[in-house]
């Protein structure tokens, strides 16, 4: 019986010739990552298990959620992982002002590569599947175990195969595609399964598109999302990393729980309405409704704070003004991206349009820091979750969208079609 990409990676890391869905295995880990919220919780558990991490080059700590620190508690949390990183001599500790959001900085800095087995104490760790790695989010006890032993048990996931064909339209990005897919299969449609993307349409997707899609696999309940390693992915890895990597390909007779075809040419700009990422509506459906007036726009996060995202938003905002009733926050995902925005003149475009530009951080995404919303307020956000109370008051509303929809909406004052951006 053949294996999927994910199953091949897990088999190799478990030292087995083959594995099957549902099998319990113990796999060796290539990277163990935590942030300023999850890391401090894992440290006391780690101390009960070991004095030293299993490999100082493979344990990664990134303060990004509440940095710059928003209060005394967040400052204490950041201090705890900062001191731990120094004590342990960790190679990869990413301090504020020198890094950015964890799921953007790890690929950018070359920490992760194809064929690896990666865990992170953050649900969107599945981002690195864009590079052909098995990466998944786990809890703090599992992170502590991984830090101490370099191994962790897994239940081998089954898989869904997504065959992508066609070419996306001009204003359709990875964000639209993954919201479209989650809308089709539901927020539990891939529960504890691997979402494996294949097909000729993949060559039409940028790496930023793929990072976004892999990132949001968890929003369909998936254990991980993963893309094949094509020439574009290899080029990215070689440009960012000196690590050796291994390419795994699914067997032709791999077993999938379902096969779903997606014609990218038919996907429209798509928005996830409150309060689930699967509550998908196309821009055409939205235009047929009464205008949904908004109070806030967020452009950034581990989903859509990369350079390509910001270029797309800037192209729409250039020469325009943010609606007087809307406040906009733009958050580059890393310091490198921030600097590129300066070099390319994007920050000037954002500021001239009336946006606030913030330092690389998770920022408003989880409602604890910057951009917290009041009761009744509505936000169009390029982040990845729109649960009740996610960005502030339980009576606030979050609409997930691409950077282009977000930028067009910022100008219009309501959820708007990027194809018509700037029209009066």
What is the β-pairing status of strands 24-28 and 151-155? antiparallel
What is the β-pairing status of strands 327-331 and 397-400? unpaired
What is the β-pairing status of strands 158-165 and 151-155? unpaired
The two tokens of residue 297 are 């726009």
Taking only Cα atoms into account, the Rg of the chain, rounded to an integer number of angstroms, comes to 21
Neighbours of 88 (CB within 10 A): 17
Q: Do 31 and 118 meet the contact criterion of CB atoms below 8 Å apart?
A: yes
Known binding positions: 302, 362, 365
Strand partners, 31: 118
Known binding positions for [4Fe-4S] cluster: 302, 362, 365
CA gap 45, 48 in Å, rounded: 5
């Amino acid at each position: 019986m053949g294996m999927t990409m994910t199953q091949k990676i897990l088999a190799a890391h478990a030292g087995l010739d083959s594995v099957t869905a549902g099998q319990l295995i113990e796999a060796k880990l290539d990277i163990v990552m935590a942030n300023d919220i999850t890391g401090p919780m894992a440290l006391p558990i780690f101390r009960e298990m070991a004095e030293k991490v299993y490999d100082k080059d493979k344990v990664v700590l990134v303060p990004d959620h509440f940095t710059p620190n928003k209060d005394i508690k967040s400052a204490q949390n950041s201090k705890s992982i900062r001191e731990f990183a120094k004590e342990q001599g960790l190679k990869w500790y990413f301090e504020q002002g020198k890094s950015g959001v964890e799921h953007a900085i790890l690929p950018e800095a070359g920490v992760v590569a194809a064929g690896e087995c990666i865990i992170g104490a953050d649900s969107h760790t599945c981002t690195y599947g864009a590079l052909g790695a098995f990466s998944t989010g786990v809890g703090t006890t599992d992170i502590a175990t991984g830090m101490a032993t370099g191994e962790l048990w897994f239940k081998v996931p089954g898989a869904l195969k997504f065959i992508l064909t066609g070419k996306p339209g001009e204003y359709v990005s990875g964000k639209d595609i993954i919201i479209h897919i989650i809308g089709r299969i539901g927020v539990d449609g891939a529960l504890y399964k691997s979402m494996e993307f294949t097909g000729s349409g993949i060559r039409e997707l940028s790496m930023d598109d793929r990072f976004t899609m892999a990132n949001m696999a968890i929003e369909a309940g998936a254990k991980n999302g993963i893309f094949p390693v094509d020439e574009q992915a290899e080029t990215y890895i070689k440009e960012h990393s000196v690590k050796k990597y291994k390419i795994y390909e699914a067997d032709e007779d791999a077993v999938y729980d379902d096969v779903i075809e997606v014609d990218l040419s038919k996907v429209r700009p798509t928005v996830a309405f409150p309060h689930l990422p699967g509550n998908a509506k196309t821009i055409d459906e939205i235009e047929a409704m009464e205008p949904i007036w908004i109070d806030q726009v967020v452009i950034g996060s581990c989903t859509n704070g990369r350079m390509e995202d910001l270029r797309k938003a800037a192209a729409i905002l250039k020469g325009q003004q943010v609606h007087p009733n809307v406040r906009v926050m733009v958050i580059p995902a890393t310091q490198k991206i921030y600097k590129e925005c300066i070099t390319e003149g994007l920050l000037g475009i954002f500021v001239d349009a009336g946006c606030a530009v913030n330092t690389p951080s998770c920022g408003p995404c989880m409602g604890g820091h910057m951009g917290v919303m009041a009761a009744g307020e509505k936000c169009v956000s390029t982040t990845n979750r729109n649960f009740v109370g996610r960005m502030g008051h339980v009576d606030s509303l979050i609409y997930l969208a691409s950077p282009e929809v977000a930028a067009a909406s910022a100008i219009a004052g309501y959820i708007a079609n990027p194809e018509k951006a700037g029209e009066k």
